[in-house]
């Protein structure tokens, strides 16, 4: 994956932002509300080449790539431009391609006029008996398709007051003065591609608008006091904004993904465009409502700008009609005959949304290993929980370099990248092989590598690397829950030797019944703040005084309560400094706060239900042919795509050392697990009553996923914890935890 902007693109964004700040300020936006159009802004955009940015230089434009145009559109959305930007940019791009294809004098005339300043807007629907609304100020020319013929239509009837205070016009058959520009099958293809370009530009504007609205709400919540506290410190304010930010980030990534997919000619490119349009429209509506709500009664006051964002978010996404219908297009493009939908030319695009050829090759290696080594007995033994752990197969994985291949070679690994590991997790899931003992042991091993003594590394790491030993985590306690720093398990200096005496209990110590070590958080001082008096130990499970009690869960998983009574452990098993556990914990939780391990389970559920819909007949056609089934699975497909992009972004940011990465991991985990839970419930409804039953089939997997998904909103920190992290680190809001 690569989401880094080039230096030229950074300069482009900065210059456009400065222009928008000057030409589309709050004062200017309000001044343009009556007419719905700002002629001074329009002239500034013309003079800076923005309106013709998708027209090649040879035809009088600035020849921007589609992605560069998306970056401009995002800034236009953030500044609520009072001009029909997306409709004119895509309209002029259409005229330029028509001129190139047919050398039409009429098309050339209107392209020249458009570049000179006449608003030439793209009609988003074909000519029919119904009236359509166009974002068109007075004097505009509309590009309308009738069959295979493209017309320029003038003298459009104007529309009065409307939700977004935009200059709108109406068009229907027979309205205005029409002039034929070109005709033929290729014209229709070009028009269809222009509509797809409009979707992406308008989606980018919505994403920019929504992002700015959320930022405004967060800033207000950081200034407004109620009950003696900043309202941003209340989770009822912070958490909805964190959810909104995750949705808006997802919208932006979907738009970028669609551009990348077009540029790389990916088979799901057309579906990605529809995903981006549907999700951006939906997310912007929700985000701006959340943002306005944050302002309370002031939010509905015309004196506050947030209402401008609320109104325009909904108005902008209704220009093409009901945006919810785009879900049908997502389904048709994923599973029907619309995958080959004409798309705009993307031009140069440095983005990358794939995990890379190296990761794909590694996945093939892992897949071949499973095909060779997974005996019928092992397949019967396989289970998603720790019950699926098999000591012999664990050692085989280690011998093949597939247990911890991302470890440094000096510790027995192969130096594989995080994206290689993401690909490996997909293959493990394909084979229903548990992904608990390995990742948990790895999490602990990383702490040993970074903070353990040389002697401890020498003793422990070879055992873990060979698959001989496992480790489990002992952070949570019955009385502390997610507040791990409130731990009461006590570690005191052993007066009889160079060691420690540990007493206490830990809960949710998954795999403790098969583990050789427990990574234990213990209190070593009560004379300092609670977070500063903690120390971590790697305690051998064979020591006297350790007792394990099983706790069975609704997910067909066993976890444990681990009791420690007068457990004597040598000081060499201490990880990090005495009372320095917070430093070790911070590094450790950064690993756990990523969402890809949960996203893989979510993806598996989706693929199983999709297979059920394809294989199960409803009358003479498969279930997937039913509109409601297609629509609901299309919704999950969109959520799935966003979840993957958010998770991959977190992985990429960690590799690249991106400063914003602090909240990328929590956001990916929050979005993935919450949508896993919600979509599991919805798909259970969709497949009822057959989804009720436990089985080894596709719907049996769905039933298990429904039970599993709720736990994933709790494991690795609850969704509430992650919402707080996103609000604080992603939006700069006050701390919402004490």
Closest among 293, 297, 298, 303 to 27, alpha carbons compared = 303
Residue at token pair 């159009």 = 37
Return the bridge partners of 490, or none: 503, 523
Q: Which pLDDT value is given to residue 588?
A: 72
What stretch of H or E contains 517?
strand 517-523
C-alpha distance from residue 584 to each of 459, 499, 504, 577, 591 (Å): 20, 20, 20, 9, 11
Task: Tell me how far apart the alpha carbons of residues 699 and 693 are, in angstroms, rounded to a whole number.
Answer: 8
**Cα gap 320→179, rounded to integer Å:** 23
- Joined together, the tokens standing for residue 702 give 């769905």
Please tell me the distance from the alpha carbon of residue 501 to that of residue 71, in angstroms, as a whole number: 59
Residue 284, judged by CB atoms within 10 A of its CB (0-12, 13-18, 19+), counts as: buried
HEC readout, 123-181: CCCCCCCCCEEECCCCCCEEEEEECCEEEEEECCCEECCCCCCCCEEEECCCCCEEEEE
Could you tell me the two tokens for 458?
């020498």
Give me the sign of the Cα torsion angle 699, 703, 704, 705: positive
Assigned CATH topology for domain 471-590 = Butyryl-CoA Dehydrogenase, subunit A; domain 2 (2.40.110)
CATH 1.20.140.10 domain span(s) along the chain: 593-731
Identify the pLDDT of residue 646. Answer: 98
- CATH code 2.40.110.10 region(s) in the chain: 471-590
Q: Render 78-100 in DSSP notation, one character per residue.
A: HTT-SS-HHHHHHHHHHHHHHHH
Gyration radius (Cα) of the chain, Å: 29
Q: How far apart are CA 84 and CA 72, in angstroms?
A: 14
Report the 10 Å Cβ neighbour count for 227. Answer: 6
Predicted pLDDT of residue 737: 67
Q: How many of the other CB atoms lie within 10 Å of CB of 301?
A: 11
- pLDDT of 103 reads 85
- The CATH number for 593-731, chosen from 1.20.140.10, 1.20.1070.10, 1.20.1250.20, 3.20.20.150, is 1.20.140.10
Torsion of CA 336, 338, 340, 345, to 10 degrees: -140
In which residue are the tokens 């904004």 written? 241
Tell me what percent of the chain is helix, strand and coil, each rounded to the nearest 5.
55, 15, 30
Q: Which residues contact 49 (CB under 8 A, 6 or more apart)?
A: 61, 62
pLDDT at 738 (0 to 100)? 57
The label of the residue with tokens 């819909």 reads 613
Along the chain (738 residues), what's the average pLDDT of each consecutive run of 10 residues?
A: 97 98 98 97 98 97 98 98 98 97 94 98 89 94 96 93 96 90 97 98 98 98 95 97 98 98 97 98 98 98 98 97 96 92 97 97 98 97 97 98 95 95 97 96 95 95 97 92 86 89 97 98 91 95 98 96 97 95 80 82 98 96 97 98 97 89 93 98 98 96 98 93 96 86
């Amino acid at each position: 994956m690569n989401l880094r902007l080039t230096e030229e693109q950074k300069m482009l964004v900065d210059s456009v932002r400065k222009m928008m700040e000057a030409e589309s300020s709050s004062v200017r936006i309000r001044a343009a509300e009556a007419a719905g159009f700002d002629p001074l802004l329009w002239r500034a955009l013309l003079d800076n080449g923005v309106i013709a940015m998708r027209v090649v230089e040879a035809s009088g434009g600035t020849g921007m790539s589609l992605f560069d145009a998306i970056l401009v559109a995002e800034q236009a959305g953030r500044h609520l431009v009072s001009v029909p930007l997306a409709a004119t940019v895509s309209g002029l791009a259409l005229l330029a391609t028509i001129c190139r294809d047919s050398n039409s004098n009429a098309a050339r005339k209107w392209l020249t006029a458009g570049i000179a300043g006449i608003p030439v807007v793209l009609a988003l629907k074909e000519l029919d008996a119904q009236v359509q609304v166009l974002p068109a100020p007075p004097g505009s020319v509309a590009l309308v398709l009738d069959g295979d013929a493209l017309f320029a239509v003038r003298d459009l009837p104007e529309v009065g007051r409307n939700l977004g205070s935009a200059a709108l016009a109406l068009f229907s058959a027979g309205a205005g003065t029409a002039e034929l520009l070109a005709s033929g099958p290729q014209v229709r293809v070009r028009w269809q591609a222009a509509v797809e370009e409009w979707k992406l530009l308008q989606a980018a504007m919505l994403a920019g608008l929504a992002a700015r609205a959320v930022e405004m709400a967060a800033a207000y919540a950081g200034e407004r006091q109620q009950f003696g506290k900043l309202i941003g410190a209340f989770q009822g304010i912070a958490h909805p904004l964190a959810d909104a930010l995750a949705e808006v980030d997802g919208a932006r990534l979907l738009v970028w993904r669609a551009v990348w997919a077009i540029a790389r000619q990916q088979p799901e490119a057309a579906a990605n465009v529809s995903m981006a349009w549907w999700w951006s429209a939906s997310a912007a509506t929700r985000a701006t409502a959340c943002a306005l709500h944050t302002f309370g009664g002031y939010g509905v006051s015309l004196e506050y700008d947030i209402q401008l964002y609320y109104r325009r978010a909904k108005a902008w996404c209704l220009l093409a009609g009901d945006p919810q219908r785009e879900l049908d297009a997502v389904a048709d493009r994923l599973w029907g005959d619309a995958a080959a939908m004409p798309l705009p030319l993307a031009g140069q695009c440095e983005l990358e949304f794939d995990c890379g050829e190296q990761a794909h090759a590694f996945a093939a290696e892992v897949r071949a290993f499973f095909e060779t080594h997974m005996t019928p007995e092992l397949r019967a033994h396989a289970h998603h929980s720790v019950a699926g752990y098999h000591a012999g197969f664990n050692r085989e994985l280690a011998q093949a370099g597939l247990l911890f291949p991302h470890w440094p070679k000096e510790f027995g690994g192969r130096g594989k990248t995080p994206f290689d590991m993401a690909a490996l997790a997909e293959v493990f899931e394909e084979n229903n092989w548990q992904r608990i003992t390995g990742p948990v042991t790895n999490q602990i091993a990383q702490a040993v590598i970074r903070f353990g003594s040389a002697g401890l590394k020498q003793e422990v790491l070879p055992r873990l690397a060979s698959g001989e030993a496992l480790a489990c985590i002992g952070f949570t306690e019955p009385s502390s829950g997610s507040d791990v720093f409130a731990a009461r398990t006590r570690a005191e200096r052993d007066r009889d030797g160079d060691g420690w005496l540990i007493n206490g209990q830990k809960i949710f110590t998954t795999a403790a019944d098969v583990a050789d070590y427990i990574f234990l958080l213990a209190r070593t001082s009560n004379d300092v703040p609670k977070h500063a008096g903690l120390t971590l130990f790697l305690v051998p499970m064979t020591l006297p005084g350790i007792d394990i009690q099983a706790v069975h869960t609704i997910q067909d998983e066993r976890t444990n309560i681990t009791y420690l009574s007068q457990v004597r452990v040598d000081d060499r098993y201490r990880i990090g400094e005495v009372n320095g556990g917070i430093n070790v914990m911070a590094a450790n939780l950064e690993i756990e706060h990523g969402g890809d391990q949960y996203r893989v389970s979510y993806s598996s559920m989706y693929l199983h239900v999709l297979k059920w819909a394809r294989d199960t007949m409803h009358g003479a056609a498969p279930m997937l042919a039913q509109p409601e089934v297609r629509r609901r699975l299309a919704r999950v497909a969109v959520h799935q795509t966003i979840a993957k992009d958010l998770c991959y972004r977190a992985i990429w940011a960690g590799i690249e050392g991106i400063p914003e990465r602090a909240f990328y991991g929590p956001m990916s985990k929050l979005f993935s697990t919450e949508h896993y839970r919600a979509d599991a419930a919805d798909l259970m409804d969709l497949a009822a009553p057959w989804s009720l039953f436990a089985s080894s089939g596709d719907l049996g997997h769905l039933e298990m996923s429904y039970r599993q998904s709720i736990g994933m909103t709790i494991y690795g920190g609850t969704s509430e914890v992650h919402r707080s992290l996103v609000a604080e680190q992603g939006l700069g809001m006050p701390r919402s935890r004490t």
